[in-house]
Amino acid sequence: MTAPSRIWINAVGKELPEWVVAAMASPEIADNGSFIIAGGDGETRVERGFAVFDYDGQVYACLPKEVQAKLAATVGADNEAVAELAQKTEAARAPVPAIQRQSREARRAGDKQLRLKPMIGSPPAPQFAQLDQLNVDDTYQRSIEGGASKKLIIKIAENWDWRLCLPLIVSRREGSLYVIDGQHRLEGAKLRGDIRDLPVVVFDFDDPKQEAELFVQANRSRRAMSTLDDFHAAVVAGDAKAVEIHNVVTDAGLIVGRNQAWQYWQPGEVIFVAAIKKALISQGREISTRALTMIAQAFDGLVLTGGGAIFTGLCIFIQSREKDGRPIDADLMVSVLSEVGIPGWKEATEGVDSGQDRIDSMLKAMEEAYAEAESE
């Protein structure tokens, strides 16, 4: 026996061959381009991007990367057809010598050989997906609540140009589709109301962690991410430093916000992740957690505008008092923070431009306010 005699990929614009039509369980084709065949291993839904192949008069369907395994399960791994297909697959995967893959530009640059790393992942499956099939995982995706994002979405919707609509990068996870890259295009299409589906390329991922890693790589290589975008994606991806910051914040009863624009901040949200990262290095986790806990208690129900300066000054104040053998009273410090209030602490650094000068001004204000309360 030989390898599959016919193979067809269910891609947009590809006409159904007669032998595939003959294998269809019904003539119905779904809006997303999928249909059902009565194949050699029962009924199978052929999604966009699936391969349909004919072997020994029986038709089968699966993802292209699974053809070899499907064939092996059907006729046995030691069958000559499987061996033939495996040899072709290995030949296709075999790395081409770097010197042969160099471009003319690379040779002009000094004949430096490319250092090719092994390819990661499998080729994507191009297809169309209906808008209501596409989900967004908020645990690592950018927030689109800010003014800049909303303006971009409106601009995309009002000036829709299919020539600029590159396929969305999508993950197939547990039977659902999640947008990794292309959230603004998706929201723009939804806002228009006259677009039913969008072009996508689908990758298979096991969990959100892998999706987040690709999200970070894709966005860092194209344009700068905000600190919060980077942070939330890094947490899902399991970055140790980001996870530690997340844990310190949540241990204090707070959460890390998702939007840089202060108009959208909510009570109990922490935006100053860079200040927390620095404090963990300079003052340690225990002091950082205590400072955040005091801030959470003192400003319960309030938006933490200027919270970064308050937090940094408080961490340094706690550390300096402990070095002097005069640890602060947590309840008294919470009372001092609350009585001065967020507007009062902001006044302590008004007109001060230098970062270090702002810290010094905040620290001095805290020392004076605490000393006054301590003497009463």
Using DSSP, state whether 61 is helix, strand or coil: strand
What is the second-level CATH architecture of the domain 125-226? Alpha-Beta Complex (3.90)
Using the predicted structure, report yes or no on whether residue 174 has a pLDDT greater than 70.
yes
Element (H, E) at 5: none
Element (H, E) at 134: strand 134-135
pTM of the model as a whole: 0.47
Using DSSP, state whether 252 is helix, strand or coil: coil
Length of the chain measured in residues:
376
Interacting residues of 57 by C-beta distance below 8 A, sequence separation 6+:
none
Paired sense of beta strands 168-173 and 134-135, if any: unpaired
Using the predicted structure, report yes or no on whether residue 365 has a pLDDT greater than 80.
yes
End-to-end CA distance of the chain: 95
* 55 and 19 Cβ atoms separated by less than 8 Å: no
Which pLDDT band holds residue 140 (cuts at 50, 70, 90)? low
Buried b (16+ CB within 10 A) or exposed e, 331-341: eebbbbbeebe
Residue 219 is predicted with a pLDDT of: 61
Tens digits of residue pLDDT in 58-71: 888 888 888 777 77
List, by residue range, all CATH 3.90.1530.10 domains of the chain: 125-226
Residue 370 is predicted with a pLDDT of: 94
Which pLDDT band holds residue 187 (cuts at 50, 70, 90)? very high
Paired sense of beta strands 176-181 and 35-39, if any: unpaired
Higher pLDDT, 89 or 12: 12
Q: What is the DSSP letter of 167?
A: P
Paired sense of beta strands 42-46 and 35-39, if any: antiparallel
The DSSP bridge partners found for residue 46 are 35
Residue closest to 210 by CA, chosen among 262, 167, 172:
172
* 249 and 307 Cβ atoms separated by less than 8 Å: no
Higher pLDDT, 219 or 43: 43
Tens digits of residue pLDDT in 92-106: 344 444 444 445 454
Residue closest to 179 by CA, chosen among 159, 206, 208:
208
Using DSSP, state whether 327 is helix, strand or coil: coil
Using the predicted structure, report yes or no on whether residue 214 has a pLDDT greater than 80.
no
Higher pLDDT, 223 or 40: 40
Buried b (16+ CB within 10 A) or exposed e, 292-322: bbbbbbbbeeebbebbbbbbbbbbbbbbebe
Element (H, E) at 71: helix 67-75
* 27 and 39 Cβ atoms separated by less than 8 Å: no
Residue 92 is predicted with a pLDDT of: 39
Q: What is the DSSP letter of 196?
A: -
Amino acid letter for position 34:
S
